[in-house]
A and B are shown apart, each in its own frame.
Chain A
């Protein structure tokens, strides 16, 4: 056990939350960049593996049935490998085999349902969703939940609901992060799915910023009729933001009538209202909030980066003039500073500390 873990154990023991000596051994969580390295090598190995299948077993790509069977077997084999062995090499091998198998299954899915692309996307979303739940590997779960969210978005876009998906994905991501420690046995699973959903959310909001035409190339037949406009998407995002703030207030035992609750909720509503035009600001702020609530630096970093990205790319939005954008940003900036002033004035430091 590391010195830092021993210190945490001592803190818990002094608070009367644990007893006895610290546990002997523990598996230290790898930092995010080590996981990215794992994901990269898995992806690269999968590309070569597909090359091997293409060159050595060419018939697989000629028949969708064969691709489906071989792909399914590869995913099943990867699952078995991950279940049986905790060896580092086997873990990498299983990741690569599973990714290559998924490509074969996706190839078969789109080949079979050539005229009903939305069904293929829905099936892909369901496949990835089940893989995110069952595959006993962190990187695999992040990848699968990310792809599931993207595939589900594309499927729903066929049915005209492109702008509502952002709010749905954000709600699911918020649920994951607000309850990450609630079910200890499922903690790793919830965290991995949470990361996948947040990454998908950042990407989805980025494409929504430029209008859904950015993914229009997918719809070769005809452009689907959208029944929900961008404002519905922002409204849903706002509702999720209010839910997150409300949940955090509840966690700290704040009642609805208390000054902190009223200030926080009205501030959130005001902020969601003024940032309707600058899409993405609410999303970025919620990601930062979720990250800070769990002392999760990676999530806070992702939120900050997405905020910088959304504000910078707002410049290139063609729907409104730079003058209108300037006015919107001026209002957003002033409201943010006003909220800060309100917080510093109406919630004195000692009152906040007293409540928590």
Chain B
């Protein structure tokens, strides 16, 4: 969707477009899409939603564990769908929407097949193995697929298998603490590493540079780190300075990358939100110890001041990015 919406609204707010010509202006600027754009959109929308509904239908059917149909028939059905989806991918080609939907349906059905295998033969495998093997086996499809949605599915599977592994064994590598803190560190490190790798690889492979995927990864890395910092602030004893130190480094890195190298307002807004939350929590812990009215008023003004500063700065950066 190539949109001039914001610019159109800016002009409308100034009264620069005559009222009787708004309808035509909407069409001229493509804020109101033309017939061709509508057709492509409906085509893609029906295809994606239809494909997902069919993949979910297979998933629900296998999950029901219907005894009227034998296990070989079920295996045959799911395997048949996977093969059919891959044939469809080869037929439509990787660049078309139909090809991408086929590959995603194949990926989802592959997971259903693995789950059904585990359920039928009671292999004794841990749940994390299902998601890990799924992520491993779908990797070639993600590589040939060359579209962000399939890679995000891979990232979700990797995160899920990591969480389940940690819950099963109470730790991983040197992070054998078994506590919630260890898990938060792991999720932060995994998603931050993936974000860094994604950003680096997006330079040669432009199809990776879709902002929504990068923003999702940054959020998946930033949220656990913020939880760690808040935990260390509100911990009664044994407060560690490590989360705070890592948070400062992370904020500085985010600023350098998304302000100086690759301007991205979403990332900067996220950092501002994180900055307000952490600073107010830190101040709140010490100022609200004696619950005085003045402390509450002071904190309220601090939040308003920081919010104002953040909004002012972000608007300035936004103006810069647009000019």
State the A residues within 8 Å of B (CB): 2-5, 7-9, 11-12, 15, 17-18, 22-23, 26-31, 33-34, 36-38, 40-42, 44-46, 48-49, 51-52, 54-57, 88-89, 91-93, 96, 181-182, 184, 187-188, 251-252, 285, 288, 292-297, 300, 307-308, 311, 314-315, 321-323, 325-327, 329-330, 332-337, 339-340, 343-344, 347, 349, 352-356
A188 to B39, CA, bound (A): 29
Which residues of A sit under 8 angstroms from B307, Cβ to Cβ? 37-38, 40-42, 45, 92
- Encode B1-31 as 1/0 by CB contact (under 8 A) with A: 1011111111111111111011011111111
A159 to B35, CA, bound (A): 45
Contact status of A295 and B296, CB under 8 A, knowing A12-B25, A340-B50: no
A33 contacts B266, CB within 8 Å?
yes
Query: Which of B47, B60, B64, B323 meets A337, CB within 8 Å?
Result: B47
A349 contacts B28, CB within 8 Å?
no
A5 contacts B11, CB within 8 Å?
yes
Label chain A's interface by main secondary structure.
helix
B11 contacts A4, CB within 8 Å?
no
State the B residues within 8 Å of A (CB): 1, 3-19, 21-22, 24-36, 38-39, 41-43, 45-47, 49-54, 56-58, 60-61, 63-64, 66, 265-266, 269-270, 272-273, 276, 280, 288, 291-294, 296-297, 299-301, 303-308, 310-312, 314-315, 318-319, 322-323
Closest to A182 in B: B22
B16 contacts A340, CB within 8 Å?
no
Which residues of B sit under 8 angstroms from A344, Cβ to Cβ? 43
B296 contacts A52, CB within 8 Å?
yes
Contact status of A187 and B9, CB under 8 A, knowing A40-B273, A48-B299: yes
Q: Smallest Cβ distance from A244 to chain B, in angstroms?
A: 14
A92 contacts B311, CB within 8 Å?
yes
Query: Which of A23, A33, A49, A182 meets B296, CB within 8 Å?
Result: A49
Contact status of A300 and B1, CB under 8 A, knowing A5-B11, A340-B47: yes
B322 contacts A15, CB within 8 Å?
no
Which residues of A sit under 8 angstroms from B272, Cβ to Cβ? 37
Which residues of B sit under 8 angstroms from A42, Cβ to Cβ? 307
